[in-house]
Structure 1
Amino acid sequence: MKRALFEEDHELFRDVAQEFNAREIAPHYTQWDRERIMPRSMWIAAGQQGLLGLAVPEEFGGAGMPDYRFRVILDEEFARANHLGAGLALHLHDDMVLPHLLAYGSDELKQQWLPGMVTGEKVTSVAWTEPGAGSDLRGVRTKAVRDGEDWLISGQKTFIGNGISSDASLVLARTDGSTGRGGRDSFSLFMVEKGPGYETGKQLDKMGLKASDTSELFFDSVRVPESNLVGQAGQGLRYVAEQLPQGRLAIAVASSAVARTMYEATVHYTKERNAFGERIIDFQNTRFELADILTEVEVLETYVDRAVVTFNEGQLDAVSAARVKLWASERVKLITDRCLQLHGGYGYILEYPIAQAFLAVRLLSIFGGTSEIMRETVGRHIAR
């Protein structure tokens, strides 16, 4: 059944995304997964195909396509090709860093970073979380202090996707000189380039999504020019809160895409696999399970698609984004688990996409704010 969400231009873009996955990623992805990092050549190829920085205006080298449905297509094709690590890497670059530069960056900062982000010549990461500050960003201790016309940034970050492969990080740092849990005006955002004092720590070995490199970062009096301040000093947390809906919508979109892909893979598997002289799908329990899963997948898609339309209209608020992220990220875990069960022993073998997806989706209810934080966000809104 054709999705009402998409129009002809989106389906033409799907052809481009499919061709990119087949030509540029599929031949190498197993190696990248093993090495736990993707080469710069992947980013350059994505840029040449027009898959990066879709929302970047033409004046900065982009396609000027803020319609989020194109990003949905991209996520669906990464999921269908089982290249979830690549999808995560692009999400950090396009859904986390880019919106802050577009919304708050000066023309100078945009000119410095956006063209390279579009071509893949400049890869970015988000450096917000720390060993003692995950979902609660007011616990961030990395500090930035003025030194003449510059800032000196010192501190430690962890769980940083693209931390090794990136050229710069969007860093959240304390700028009011306080200690303890900071206030709303205590933090600022900076684009921090790799250079003296900027050290990449050990590569973290995740349970899934291995092709997307993740590491610790250390900053020791890294000198950052005033021009690399994103927006105004003291407004970092406000900016993060304002752009969270897109980041959380992206996680919901990825959840929906994986759910659909794993359902379809399971239908195919149960039609091909025999047991006791019959196809697995010919057992009543299998058909009942698949009927339930299909219903859940379609309900999930409908909910996420509605959120995408709302986002395109500029109406997706933080609470609505928290709800859709909560539902989608929790639901895909259950759907993937049920699909894995129908694969039997093969579902436990890592060369099968269902096993890889089972490990990958476990991140989705943690990343971008845990499910507990999503419930608290929604719950506080209800209690107002």
Structure 2
Amino acid sequence: MIGEDTFLTNAEEQYLADAITTLETEVFVDGLGYDHFRALDENEVSREVWQEYVSRMGEAGFNCISVPEEYGGPGGTILQTVLAEQAIGYCGNIVHACQTSLTQHVGRTMYEHGNRHIKETYLEPMASGDLVVSQAYTEPRSGTDIAHLETSAERDGDEWVVNGEKRFIDFAPYADFYFTPVRTGGEDGDRDGVSIIVIDRETGGIELVEDQSDWHGFRGTGASWMQFDDVRVPEENLVGAEGEAWAYITDELNLEHLTVARYCLGASQQALEIAANYTANREVNERPVSRYQAVNHKIAEMTTRLDGAYLLNTRAARIMDDRGVSAGRMESAMAKWLGNDLAHDIADTCIQIMGGIGTTTSYPIEQIQRDVRAGRFMGGATEVMKSVVQSDAYKELLDEEFDGDLVGNEREGLPWLNVDQQPARTRDE
């Protein structure tokens, strides 16, 4: 927030401030600083680096924030979760925020639906920072359309045998385990029959068949095309009930909508602050660029819209804290759509008002602009979010007393007025 945030309590504002301080002084230092950020953008990273990052985040209490302490988490709130993600995007790089975000929504799903084995073997070590997680959702022929996933798992005694392919899987080369939706029953397109299985990295039959990390931005995750060939997984690695993961996944995505939007907004705020300072110090025709209305009005517009996006995100987080992660579907979709589109717009506008220097590596804005572009499709594309909003908005907006028979026959009366409120007809009528 640039203006005063009346949606946050004093304790919540302090949590955000403390998170930024911790990240700047304890996490993004000693090998994980600026040179590391540039190395990520060049895809020059290692499994050891990501292990060091998740370890520091675990020590700082930023992994699995809403998971109770008895299962290894800090026992925080969804709102604290999004505030921490904002801080990570602001202080670090959004790929850092993405890895930590995975611990938030994957961890929440494990906590709510996982058995004791899942919680002890994967959830608690992930929360402490001992394990790196990867979420293997997207497939060559299905992305957000998970009902048409083709990766399957069949029972063979006390094991599951997994076959199929996944692509664009972030952290695939670095992860200790893969949180993987599979079809265990039903027909193609059915919501019933979708399950989630946790697959260890070292399990035989897993192959990374293509490096897909040379993206427009959002580099450093080692994104990969994966192949599962008769991968054998213990029966107890099933998360929740067999064939009932559709609801788990939609709830998880509901939370992911908020984390993805929030960390991209945090990154865009860093870009906005740099641009404001640059234009206040850069002189053209003997006056600061910030004195030109074409520039300072853009700063005003971006500041106002950024605050609005933060408030939408906070509202949705509060709804989830009050009623669970399945609540606030429309509100989280609003926050995702507006937040991620805005984050990219802010970063791009910052480049425009800074001019050519904004496109160089002298400032991180060009990398932020490329990175946050991915947010517009990660965890659900803008267009999908609009479809969610329109569906739920119509349910809220439609009025049973609206007289549809009068649509096109407005001379007979106005459809949006009750019968008792209809205007009196003239003598000619």
TM-score by length of 1: 0.92
Instruction: State the distance in 2 between where 1:292 and 1:128 align.
Output: 36
Distance 2:80 2:23 in 1: 10
Aligned to 2:346: 335
Judging changes above 3 Å, is the alpha-carbon distance between structure 1 residues 259 and 6 closer, same or farther for their aligned structure 2 residues?
Answer: farther
1:41 correspondence with 2:44: no
Q: State the match for 2:21 in structure 1.
A: 15
Partner of 1:360: 371
Residue 292 of structure 1 is aligned with which of 293, 301, 304? 301
**1:369 corresponds to:** 380
For residue 117 of structure 1, the aligned residue among 126, 131, 141 is: 126
State how far apart, in whole Å, the 2-side matches of 1:320 and 1:299 are. Answer: 13
Task: Pick one of 178, 188, 199 that aligns with 1:192.
Answer: 199
Distance in 2, Cα, partners of 1:107 & 1:35: 37
Q: Distance in 1 between matches of 2:173 and 2:105?
A: 17
Are residues 113 and 82 of structure 1, via their aligned partners in 2, closer, same or farther at CA, if it must alter by over 3 Å? closer
How many Å apart are 1:295 and its aligned residue?
1.4
How far apart, CA to CA, are the structure 2 residues paired with 1:301 and 1:320?
A: 12
TM-fit CA distance, 1:96: 3.1
Q: What is residue 55 of structure 1 aligned with on the other side?
A: 66
Which amino acid in the other structure matches residue 50 of structure 1?
A: G
Q: Note if 1:29 corresponds to 2:37.
A: yes
Contact 1:96 1:126 survives alignment (8 Å): no
> Could you tell me which amino acid in structure 1 is paired with residue 193 of structure 2?
S
Aligned to 2:143: 134
Sequence identity percentage: 25
Which stretches of structure 1, 4 residues or longer, exceed 4 Å deviation after superposition? none
How far off is 1:275 after superposition? 2.1
Please point out which of 339, 344, 356 is paired with 1:345: 356
Give the match for residue 398 of structure 2: none
* C-alpha separation in 2, matches of 1:55 and 1:262: 29
2:280 equivalent to 1:271: yes
Q: Is the 8 A contact 1:160 1:214 kept in 2?
A: yes
Deviation digits for residues 346-370 of structure 1 (CA, Å, limit 9, x no counterpart): 1222442111111111111101111
Indicate the SS of the match to 2:376.
coil
1:220 alignment partner, one of 221, 229, 238: 229
Letter in 1 for 2:10: E
Asked if the contact 1:21–1:81 (Cα under 8 Å) also holds between the matched residues in 2, the reply is no
Q: Does 1:73 align with 2:76?
A: no
CA contact (8 A) 2:134 2:171 kept: yes
Compute the displacement of 1:30 (Å): 2.1
After alignment, is 287-296 or 227-236 more displaced? Answer: 287-296
What CA distance in whole angstroms lies between the structure 2 residues aligned with 1:359 and 1:118?
29
The TM-score, its normalising length taken from structure 2, stands at 0.83
Gaps of 5+ in 1: none
Q: CA RMSD in A?
A: 2.0
Q: Deviations over 1:85-142 (max 9, x none)?
A: 21112112x2332121011001221011122102222111111110100121112100
The answer on whether the counterparts of 1:143 and 1:177 sit within 8 Å (CA) in structure 2 is no
Amino acid at match of 1:292: E
Contact 1:144 1:175 survives alignment (8 Å): yes
Q: Distance in 1 between matches of 2:105 and 2:318?
A: 19
User: Could you tell me which amino acid in structure 1 is paired with residue 5 of structure 2?
Assistant: R
Q: Conserved in 1, the CA contact under 8 Å of 2:209 and 2:224?
A: yes
Matched, 1:253 2:262: yes
Superposed CA offset, 1:205-230 (max 9, x none): 11112123311211111111110000
Number of residue-to-residue matches in the alignment: 380
Mean Cα deviation higher: 191-200 or 373-382: 373-382
Q: Matched residues in 2 for 1:225 and 1:216: separation?
A: 24
Amino acid in structure 2 at the alignment position of 1:183:
D
Any unmatched runs of 5+ in structure 2? 396-429
d(CA) in 1 for partners of 2:242, 2:9: 40
